[in-house]
Amino acid sequence: MDRALAVMNELMVDIFNDILTIEQSALRAGSFNDLSVTEIHTIEAIGMYVPRNMSEVAGDLNITVGTLTIAIGNLVKKGYVERKRSDEDRRVVKIALTKRGKLAYRIHAKFHRDMIKETTNGLNEEEKNILVNSLEKLNIFLKEKYKLKTRANRE
């Protein structure tokens, strides 16, 4: 492996691990110290505005509905999520963020915005496009190789 590839590999591993560590540390130190990184990502998948059904969210997270049911139960107990019966079909249960859940969502989204802003700070449009194209290629490879759903398949 040439030097550039070795450096890219090391950087990608470091960045991935650092993001997880930073997210967990930020959660522990902040107002949301009762949340895990997995739970904040579940909150992110639920979204801010439209109540969603369990299978949609489970699909977005690439987990089973059973696994999500356990996670949602914990988030309901902690006050971040609420369950609502659908008005159209009472058998359908929708999940939505509570006020506290929406605040956690916003704070987590700001972390991501700040990370992207810093990553692209000082790049010209061509460099941004090269970065986006490289990340898209990596994303497609990972989705296809590990049979994960793409964002387009979820919507």
Q: Where are the domains of the chain?
A: 3-121
The residue with greater pLDDT, 69 or 24, is 69
3 state SS of 147? coil
Whether pLDDT at 118 is above 60: yes
DSSP string, 83-127: EEE-SS-TT-EEEEE-HHHHHHHHHHHHHHHHHHHHHHTT--HHH
Q: What is the pLDDT, as a whole number, of residue 30?
A: 84
Which CATH number does 3-121 carry? Answer: 1.10.10.10
Q: What is the pLDDT, as a whole number, of residue 154?
A: 46
The mean per-residue pLDDT over the stretch 140-150 comes to 82
The mean per-residue pLDDT over the stretch 29-57 comes to 94
Question: For 60-110, what is each residue's pLDDT tens digit?
Answer: 999 999 999 999 999 999 999 999 988 888 888 899 999 999 999 999 999
